[in-house]
Amino acid sequence: MADVERVDGGPRSAVVVGAGIVGLSTAWFLQERGVEVTVVDRTGVAAGASWGNAGWIAPGLAIPLNEPSVLRYGLRSLLSPTAPLHVPLSADPELWAFLARFAAQCRWSSWTRAVRANLPLNEESVEAFDVLTANGVDAAAVAAPITAAFATPRRARGLLRELRRMADAGQPVEHVELNADGLREHVPLASPALAAGVRVDGQRHVDPGAFVRALGRSVVARGATIQVFEVDGIRTHSRGVTVHPRRGKAVAADVAVVATGAWLSRLARRWGVRVPVRAGRGYSFTVPVDRPVPGPVYLPDVRVACTPYQDGLRVAGTMEFRDPDAPGSPARVDAITASARHLLDGVRWDERRDVWVGPRPVTPDGRALIGAVRARHVYVAGGHGMWGLAQGPVTGRLLAEQITTGKQPEALRPFDPLR
């Protein structure tokens, strides 16, 4: 891609900081527009939240976190170390400042604003994956409904209300209510403790680590280089940028894109980005199953997501507000297992493997940060919360358009990092 002749005055080279789904998608779509790309990451491809998540491409369930019920639930569970939403009682003033801003955004007006902002991303998320898989990204995206399972029909009403609110805000979600028999048809692992369901149609799932690694291979095959180092700083000048490692040689380019997930604020705050990004850490593990799993399963009552994965089941859950680099807590994994064990039969819970913890980048207002910052030639992309995998490719496509044309796409206006 580096041999493409540029005649439009756009950048000819870019450094993308971050080798997760958002960074690599931005790199890929920049290459599509004739830009020579270097990707740098402190650990390597798919090392953060892009590896161990549930793998859902689920625009129908991309529900913003900042709804009032989450605030109420969070306050009730604040002191419980095993609750699905956990905030450690620490002396971190930045965390408490973030949580105060998040609490202030937990109202229906802010939630609705976030839903409407996400509409263009959700509408094009599946199609953006199709563009990648049709053009050299050798990884499958499997079409399958996501089935939410509940103990009673009454318990299902909460999700049904959320889906109605999504539709009222402009995003109708195709879904079907299921009785006990219908639930077991779609979720053969459902135990007698589950008696109702909601099938959300038109969704997909992937092996997230395999997909992001395939995307990385495609970016390299199209001419990029991937370097592993931790960025110490980014300096701008009249003609471009230089990205400086803690040790070693700097990388120069016309523009830089910072897509470092939960670590985004460490660099972005110096460029006028006042909306903070914090790590809402999730845990996952894989367990063998005795019966096939035809599609993803959502257990809203315990906030656990399950996905067919390598002839087993990937089980993911929890939202833990801790430092992104803090070690994982075995108690959190035990809590996920304990909460889901009685809901699914035919799962060999005691044979879990691939235990993982990763930091999902969360903003207080439920909207990602995508676009230009105050520093010339510098852009950021991150803060998608639990939906970075689903929205990563379309984010990369829209941001590549902005970088190469100098015009902010209408779809990115609600995500302006300087809001």
| Phi-psi domain of 186 (left: phi exceeds 0; alpha: psi -120 through 50; beta: other) | alpha
Average pLDDT over residues 375-381: 97
Average pLDDT over residues 365-394: 96
Average pLDDT over residues 398-414: 97
Q: Residue 91: what pLDDT? A: 64
Q: Give the residue, 225 or 10, on which the prediction is more confident.
A: 225
Summarize pLDDT for 21-62 with one digit per residue, the tens. 999 999 999 999 999 999 999 999 988 778 889 999 999 999
Q: Residue 80: what pLDDT? A: 67
Q: Which of 64-68, 151-155, 379-383 has the lowest mean pLDDT?
A: 64-68
Res. 3: pLDDT tops 50? no
Q: Residue 71: what pLDDT? A: 67
Q: What is the 3-state secondary structure (H, E, C) of the chain?
A: CCCCCCCCCCCCEEEEECCCHHHHHHHHHHHHCCCEEEEEECCCCCCCHHHHCCCEECHHHCCCCCCHHHHHHHHHHCCCCCCCEECCCCCCHHHHHHHHHHHHHCCHHHHHHHHHHHHHHHHHHHHHHHHHHCCCCCCCCEECCEEEEECCHHHHHHHHHHHHHHHHCCCCCCEEEECHHHHHHHCCCECCCCCEEEEECCCEECCHHHHHHHHHHHHHHCCCEEEECCEEEEEEECCEEEEEECCCCCEEECEEEECCHHHHHHHHHHHCCCCCCEEEEEEEEEEEECCCCCCCEEECCCCEEEEEECCEEEEEEEEEECCCCCCCCHHHHHHHHHHHHCCECCECHHHCEEEEEEEEEECCCCCCEEEECCCCCEEEEECCHHHHHHHHHHHHHHHHHHHHHCCCCHHHHHHCCCC
CB–CB of 35/276 below 8 Å? no
pTM: 0.93
Q: Bridge-partner residues for 283, per DSSP?
A: 317, 357
Q: What percent of the chain shows pLDDT beyond 70? A: 94
CB–CB of 269/94 below 8 Å? no
Q: Bridge-partner residues for 81, per DSSP?
A: none
Average pLDDT over residues 240-262: 95
Cα–Cα dist 56/92, whole Å:
32
Q: Residue 42: what pLDDT? A: 93
Average pLDDT over residues 112-117: 96
Q: Residue 69: what pLDDT? A: 79
Cα–Cα dist 123/58, whole Å:
11
Q: Indicate the pLDDT class of residue 73, thresholds 50, 70 and 90.
A: low
Closest CA to 313 of 298, 301, 327, 303: 298
Cα–Cα dist 388/342, whole Å:
30
Location of structure tokens 């050299």: 136
Q: Indicate the pLDDT class of residue 97, thresholds 50, 70 and 90.
A: very high
**Which residues are CB-neighbours of 267 under 8 A, at least 6 positions away?**
17, 231, 233, 234, 258, 260
Summarize pLDDT for 305-346 with one digit per residue, the tens. 999 999 899 999 988 888 999 999 899 999 999 999 999 999
Q: What percent of the chain shows pLDDT beyond 90? A: 83
**Which CATH number applies to 13-415?**
3.50.50.60
- Residue 196's identity, in one-letter code, is A
Summarize pLDDT for 293-304 with one digit per residue, the tens. 999 999 999 999
Give first-to-last CA distance, the chain, whole Å.
34
Q: Residue 70: what pLDDT? A: 74
Q: Residue 74: what pLDDT? A: 62
Q: Indicate the pLDDT class of residue 227, thresholds 50, 70 and 90.
A: very high
Average pLDDT of the chain to the nearest whole number: 92
Buried b (16+ CB within 10 A) or exposed e, 351-377: ebeeebbbbbbbbbbbbbbbbbbebeb
Structure tokens at 346: 């035919």
Res. 113: pLDDT tops 80? yes
CA dist 159 → 83, 195, 196, 312 (Å): 19, 15, 12, 26
Q: Residue 322: what pLDDT? A: 87
CB–CB of 248/56 below 8 Å? no
